[in-house]
Structure 1
Amino acid sequence: MTMLGTPSVPARPQGEQTGPIRFTGGHHFVLSPDADWAALLAQATAPMSVILQVTKRCDFDCNFCSETMQMRDPSLADLEAAAANLAGVQRVFLSGGEPLLRRDLLDVFDDFIIGLPTNATRGVNVAPKLAGKIAFANIGFDGPREIFQRVRGDYDKVMGGVNAFREAGIPISFSAVALRSVLHGLPYLLQIADVLDVGKLKLILPLRKGNALDLPESEFITVDEAAEHFARLIELRTTHAWTPAVRMTPWTAETEGHMLVIEPNGVVRAWPVYDQPDLWLPLGNVFTEPITEIWKRYPYQENHVRKYLGASIMTCARTDR
Structure 2
Amino acid sequence: MTELGMPTVMSRSSAPSGPVVFTRGHHFQLNGSTSVDDLVGSLHAPLSVILQVTKRCDFDCDFCSEILQLPDPTLDQLDTMRTNLAGVKRVFLSGGEPLMRRDFGDVVDMYSDDFILGIPTNATRALQHAKRLAGKVAYVNVGLEGPRSITQRVRGDYDKVMAGIRVFQEHGLPLSLSCVVLRSDLHGLPFTYQIADTLDAGKLKLIMPLRKGNALDLDEHEFISNTEAEAKFNELVGLASTFAWRPALRLTAWTPETEGHMICIEPTGKANAWPVYDAPDLFEPLGNVLEEPVSEIWNRYRFKRNHVSKYLGTSIHTTLRGGSDA
| Pairwise TM-score range, normalised by the shorter structure | over 0.9
| Partner in structure 2 of residue 23 of structure 1 | 22
Whether the 8 Å CA contact 1:128–1:168 is kept in 2: the answer is: yes
Question: What is the CA distance between 1:17 and its match in structure 2?
Answer: 4.9
Whether the 8 Å CA contact 1:200–1:245 is kept in 2: the answer is: yes
Whether the 8 Å CA contact 2:183–2:221 is kept in 1: the answer is: yes
After the TM superposition, which residues 1-321 of structure 1 pair with which residues of structure 2 at under 5 Å, given as runs? 13=12, 17-107=16-106, 108=108, 109=111, 110-321=113-324
Overall identity of the aligned pairs, in %: 60
Hey, what's the Cα distance between the residues in 2 that align with 1:69 and 1:158? Answer: 24
Hey, what's the Cα distance between the residues in 1 that align with 2:135 and 2:320? Answer: 25
Question: What is the CA distance between 1:18 and its match in structure 2?
Answer: 2.5
Hey, what's the Cα distance between the residues in 2 that align with 1:222 and 1:144? Answer: 23
Hey, what's the Cα distance between the residues in 2 that align with 1:315 and 1:251? Answer: 15
Question: What is the CA distance between 1:193 and its match in structure 2?
Answer: 0.5
Question: What is the CA distance between 1:320 and its match in structure 2?
Answer: 2.1
RMSD value over aligned CA atoms? 1.3
Counterpart residue identity of residue 27, structure 2: H
| Partner in structure 1 of residue 4 of structure 2 | none
Unaligned runs of 5+ in 2: 1-9
Whether the 8 Å CA contact 1:14–1:23 is kept in 2: the answer is: no
Q: Deviations over 1:39-67 (max 9, x none)?
A: 11111110000000000000000000000
Counterpart residue identity of residue 124, structure 2: T
Give 3-state SS (helix, strand or coil) of 2:105's partner.
coil
Hey, what's the Cα distance between the residues in 2 that align with 1:145 and 1:209? Answer: 25
Q: Deviations over 1:4-42 (max 9, x none)?
A: xxxxxxx97259753110000000000024221211111
Counterpart residue identity of residue 148, structure 1: T
Unaligned runs of 5+ in 1: 1-10
Q: Deviations over 1:194-246 (max 9, x none)?
A: 01100000001000000000000000000000000000000000000000000
Give 3-state SS (helix, strand or coil) of 2:104's partner.
coil
Hey, what's the Cα distance between the residues in 1 that align with 2:142 and 2:300? Answer: 32
Hey, what's the Cα distance between the residues in 1 that align with 2:247 and 2:14? Answer: 18
Counterpart residue identity of residue 120, structure 1: A
Q: Select the structure with the greater relative contact order (CA < 8 A; seq sep ≥ 6).
A: 2
Whether the 8 Å CA contact 2:272–2:284 is kept in 1: the answer is: yes
Hey, what's the Cα distance between the residues in 2 that align with 1:147 and 1:221? Answer: 17
